[in-house]
Amino acid sequence: MFMMQTRRRFLASLLAIGAMALAPLQLLARNKGAFEAEEANATLQALVGDKPLVSSTDIMLKVPDIAENGAVVPVTVTTTIEDVQRISLIVDENPNPLSASFRFLPGSVADISIRLKMGASSDVRAIVETQTTAFYTTKNVKVTIGGCGG
């Protein structure tokens, strides 16, 4: 009796692993073109494609005006826009401008907090995507060198 239960559990586990291997890995996929782009406009094009890009006051981008340490710049993005599918952060002057991209499941609260690395003073853009439209807001951040300005 004990052997049969162990064998059944083993077979059930083996079938579950096989099913996971066959399932599409869309949730783990990333937009390689957007992450590897070296210019902000190319990054934006790779991210949103043909969706209209609209400036929005419904996106709250909280980032300091002056960041004394560009290695750890705190950024928070929240929005009241409905049905958000993705929030992405673009730092225009970074070597690879796309710094982060977060996907949301239906019904999720669109709210992120992260620490970004910024190599120089730059505009930081928050892109909030829905099924049909990409919304954005921008804020300029001055990165000081050693706390003395730069």
Q: What is the pLDDT of residue 129?
A: 95
Are 143 and 150 a contacting pair, CB within 8 Å? Answer: yes
Average pLDDT, the chain: 82
Confidence of residue 1 (pLDDT cuts 50, 70, 90): very low
CA 8/CA 21 separation, integer angstroms: 20
Inter-residue contact 78 to 64 (CB < 8 Å) = no
The CATH architecture assigned to 2-143 reads Sandwich (2.60)
Q: In whole angstroms, give the CA distance from residue 97 to residue 91.
A: 5
pLDDT of amino acid 55: 93
**Confidence check: pLDDT of 7 > 50:** yes
- pLDDT for 34-89, tens place per residue? 666 677 777 888 888 889 999 999 999 999 999 988 889 999 999 999 999 999 99
Can you give the pLDDT at residue 32?
58
Q: Percentage of residues in the chain with pLDDT exceeding 90?
A: 48
Mean pLDDT throughout 124-129?
A: 95
Q: Which two tokens stand for residue 106?
A: 């239906």
